[in-house]
Structure 1
Amino acid sequence: MTQRAPDVSFVIAAYNAADTIRRSIDSALAQTGVDVEVIVVDDCSKDETCAVVEELADPRVRLLRLAENRGPGGARNAGLEAARGDWIAILDADDTVSPQRLSRMIGLASSTEASIVVDNIDVLNLDGRLERMFPEAELERRRTLTLAAFIGSNVLFRSTFNFGYMKPIFERRFLNEHRLRFEETIRIGEDYILLASALAHGGRCVIDPSAGYCYHIREGSISRVLELRHIDAMMTADREFLARHTLDAEALAMQRRRDKSLVEAHAFLRLVEHLKSKSLAGATQVALTNPRALRHLRMPIAVRLRRLLAPIARMKPATSTVAAERPTSGESPHVSKG
């Protein structure tokens, strides 16, 4: 007899996540009102991640070991290919979900004929404080997430209502019909491109104002710095996105704002590099070619860099002058989301 497919496939990309992976898996298995499977994709961890997963001995949990490190996008894609559930839920290896999250979101999707659902987010700080990321009243007013609103919230240097933080669930049938997968060539912003592509394909995305996903801020998060190559990769990914999709007037206007912000961010990072190396000639050249980069020097560089990073990185403690975040599924090979 053919085994019934689960309602939800949780995909967890893991890299050196031995300290947190059990907590994440347990929260996924604790879902009420839905049948789940949990696919843990180990991206060549050097710690005991695989051993921790294998100790669970739960038939609902599957462990996939990648032969080579593929980064967060590649690891998640391996999980998507193995998934059998009607819905796909991405869960980071050090975060958790509330027990009612998936039943609530799937119920909302069913009643609204949506193929994508996003919800609010809780942030658990080191001191135990729980903070809600988005005011519920704001999400109540929106109810749906359009492509224009999503792109507009991901304009760099803008820190309010950045919907790039949201962790959507996708109908697996919709992803497969449109051949949607995470971009493996970029190590930052792969989340952004997937959701933007789904919306560009006409996916209806509804918003659950309540919070079901919890970001856990933890001590010793892996640091990383936003570098010029990351901005270059994001600009390339955006160009490829625009080549594949035709945007309506509102979404295109927001994309132009985002394009300008990426160019401005690139110039600002170059300006910072020249200032750090005390290259007056280099700084002058950047200022002349992109004078808008100068205006960000009105506040301390470290503060401006943190604001620059905010739309494409999650809220984690900084351990360098640039906002520092732990990657989605690992350390140096894994530069996390957007």
Structure 2
Amino acid sequence: MSPRISVIMSVRNGSAYLEATIRSILDQTFPDFEFIILDNASTDNSGQIVESFVDSRIRYIRNAKDLGLTGSLNAGLVLARGEFIARMDADDVSLPHRFERQVDFLDQNPSVALVGGWAEVFGDEQIAEIVEHPCESDAIRTWMYFQNCFVHPATMFRREIIGLEGLSYDIRFPIYQDYPFFFLLSQKYAAANLPEPLIRYRVHANQGSVSQRYPARRDELVTIYHENLVTLIADIDGEAARSFAYFHCFELDINEVKPLRAYRQARAISQRILKTLRERGTRVPGEMETRARRIARSRFRMAIAASGLSPILSEWLGNPLETMAACHGILFFLARKLRHSRGKNA
């Protein structure tokens, strides 16, 4: 008989935190699961740690070579037998009630394909804090165009739907493989986040998304934002969409297009995005406006403080996504001005 949950976790040289992670899964209050642990060609003692646990629910598979996280997770999707698939990372900790809460929610809401939850972020040099994301499906569907609303190792989704849609993690994205995966799910099906922490998300120097070089992370996000935008506005100009994606990534050193042109394109697209969202009747733009204005004001203050200029641009704080684009443009020109003045004084 198949288990209700297939837990998929890939590990590569993760011995430092692996024991605590495995124990947090085995100690779940909902016990009906298989735990698929894919050892992605580790060179440390990760395999020995896994094999030290005597539990019939563990399925330990060692990859013959390093498939990368994305490839390893896809192998796990093929192996999964459960009604639901739960993700876990080898350095985080699932809270004891996580599976129980998620299974109860999915059983009570059969139209929901994907459910996540909030996370308690912690680390050796970081005070623990709760990361919250939108919980309702309509809000998630809109926000997913502009940010990932799910903590990957806190998610659970229906295996049947993955099979029907032929979904897998996109191998183009070795770092942010979850974002496009969840974007596609949340656009076609109902999705939700439970308004409570389900995991403890560990931040450390060797973490994949942290240790990867910034250009690689930026390039993945730019591509994802670009592709999301095209699904929202089908006839959008490619260069303009990429300009907006760069600004959305807080990328100030734009080499592919002229900075002023990119800034103007990003502002124009921002207005069009909001118009499209309002035509769909969503209430989310109001929420986005509040958040964008708060972000922009903070960044304006930092930019003005660094440059010594007076706050003369506050009239731009009115349009949510336009505000973010405007803020990025201002920061670009202030940074350029500062670099120029430092060069003259050197």
The TM-score with structure 1 as length reference comes to: 0.67
Q: How does 1:223-234 map to 2 (within 5 A)?
A: 223-227=211-215, 229-234=216-221
Q: Structure 1: which amino acid aligns with 2:5?
A: V
Aligned length in residues: 266
Structure 1 Cα separation of the partners of residues 159 and 139 of structure 2: 19
Deviations 1:77-102 (A, max 9, x none): 11111111111111110001111111
2:14 is matched with: 17
Structure 2 Cα separation of the partners of residues 8 and 257 of structure 1: 43
| 1:287 and 2:274 aligned | no
Deviations 1:97-119 (A, max 9, x none): 11111111111111122221111
Taking a change above 3 Å as real, the CA distance of residues 204 and 56 of structure 1, as seen in their structure-2 partners, is same
Deviations 1:249-268 (A, max 9, x none): 7x999xx9985542336793
Deviations 1:151-192 (A, max 9, x none): 23x1xxxxxxx6243532111111111111111122222110
2:335 is matched with: none
Whether the 8 Å CA contact 2:226–2:242 is kept in 1: the answer is no
Whether the 8 Å CA contact 1:71–1:184 is kept in 2: the answer is no
Structure 2 Cα separation of the partners of residues 266 and 124 of structure 1: 24
2:161 is matched with: 174
RMSD value, Cα? 3.6
Higher relative contact order (CA 8 A, sep 6+): 1
Taking a change above 3 Å as real, the CA distance of residues 241 and 68 of structure 1, as seen in their structure-2 partners, is farther
**How high is the sequence identity, in percent, across the aligned residues?**
24
Alignment partner of 1:198 out of 185, 192, 210: 185
Whether the 8 Å CA contact 2:115–2:191 is kept in 1: the answer is yes
Q: How does 1:167-316 map to 2 (within 5 A)?
A: 167-200=154-187, 202-218=188-204, 221=207, 223-227=211-215, 229-237=216-224, 260-264=243-247, 268=251, 270=253, 286-291=258-263, 298=303
Deviation at 1:150, TM superposition (A): 2.0
Whether the 8 Å CA contact 1:8–1:34 is kept in 2: the answer is no
| Structure 2 SS opposite 1:9 | strand
Unaligned runs of at least 5 residues, structure 1: 155-161, 272-281, 302-338
1:119 is matched with: 117
Whether the 8 Å CA contact 2:221–2:249 is kept in 1: the answer is no
Whether the 8 Å CA contact 1:39–1:61 is kept in 2: the answer is yes
Taking a change above 3 Å as real, the CA distance of residues 56 and 204 of structure 1, as seen in their structure-2 partners, is same
Structure 2 Cα separation of the partners of residues 90 and 117 of structure 1: 11
1:131 is matched with: 129
Q: Structure 1: which amino acid aligns with 2:190?
A: R
Structure 2 Cα separation of the partners of residues 199 and 86 of structure 1: 19
| 1:76 and 2:73 aligned | yes
Structure with greater Cα Rg = 2
2:33 is matched with: 36
Unaligned runs of at least 5 residues, structure 2: 267-298, 308-346
Whether the 8 Å CA contact 1:267–1:286 is kept in 2: the answer is no
Deviation at 1:69, TM superposition (A): 1.6
Between Structure 1 and Structure 2, the one with more helix by share is 2
Structure 2 Cα separation of the partners of residues 286 and 267 of structure 1: 16
Structure 2 Cα separation of the partners of residues 252 and 165 of structure 1: 31
